[in-house]
Amino acid sequence: MTSRRIATLHVWGVPTRAVPGALLRMAADRRALRRTPGLRFAKLLGTGSGRTFTLSDADPRRWALLAVWDDARAAEQFSRGAVPGRWRRLADEEWSVRLRPLTARGLWSRQEPFGRPWPQRWDGPVAAVTRARLVPRRALSFWRAVPPVSADLHASPGLRLAIGIGEAPLGLQGTFSLWDSAAALGAFAHRRAPHREVVARTAREGWYAEELFARLGVLDAEGTIGGRDPLA
C-alpha cells in the first residue's frame, strides 16, 4: 500500500580532499542501490544553492540520496548498511530525514516515486520536493525567471532549509525545502506573488518536459547540514 511508504533524504558534506571519492561513489553506488531490499525509488543527487539552477549553484562538497521505501523497516535496515557506511567514511557531516508522503503529482524519470498517497492532515514540519526536466530550447527563459522566486523562497516565513538537488548540473533540477508547517508551505506556494507568476508562466511557456511536486510530513531527522540542525 502506498500509505506505508517512507521517503528518506541523506545529505553528506565532504571535505575538499574527498570530492573525487564522492564522485566515485555517485557512479559506483547505483548498482548497489538496485539490489537493496524494499527500495522503490532512489536518486543519487548533486546539490547546490538552488538560486539560479546553473553551474554557479553547484556545491561539490555536498551530495545527497533521495529514496522511497516499502516501509519503515526497509529504510532503517538500509541506514545501517553498506552504502551509507561508505559515504560516512568520506563525510565530515551528515543530515538525514525520514518523511511520510502526503501528496504527490507528476513524474520523475517516468515514475511516480511517492506513489499516490491518500490526502491527509499533517501537524508539524513538512517538506516539499520539486523536480523538473527542462525543455532545452526553453532553458534560457526558465533560468532568467528563477532568481526572483529563489530570493522570495529564502525570505519566506516558516522556511527552515532550502537546497537545490539534481541528477545533473544542468537541465535536471529540483529543490528540497523544509517548513515549519503545511500552512507555511502553502502560503509560499499559493500566496507569494513571484511563485504564483512562475507557476502561471510554466503552463504558458512549456518550460518542462517532465515535472513533479510532492509534499511530505517530517517523521524525524538527525545530524546537521551546514553546521546546524534545521529543525532545532
Which residue(s) pair with 21 in the sheet?
none
Quote the pLDDT of residue 169: 65
- Which range, of 6-15, 66-75, 172-181, 222-231, averages the lowest pLDDT? 172-181
**pLDDT at position 1 over 50:** no
Q: Report the top-level CATH class of 2-223.
A: alpha beta
**pLDDT at position 2 over 50:** no
**pLDDT at position 142 over 90:** no
Quote the pLDDT of residue 143: 73
Quote the pLDDT of residue 199: 72
β pairing state of 6-13 and 93-106: antiparallel
- Which range, of 27-36, 94-103, 143-152, 194-203, averages the lowest pLDDT? 194-203
For 157, the grid coordinates are 516565513
Taking only the tens place, the pLDDT of each residue in 72-122 is 999 999 999 999 999 999 999 999 999 999 999 999 999 999 999 988 889
**pLDDT at position 164 over 80:** yes
Quote the pLDDT of residue 208: 86
**pLDDT at position 55 over 60:** yes
Taking only the tens place, the pLDDT of each residue in 3-36 is 689 999 999 999 999 999 999 999 999 999 999 9
Instruction: For the chain, give every domain's residue range.
Output: 2-223
Mean pLDDT of the region 195-214? 81
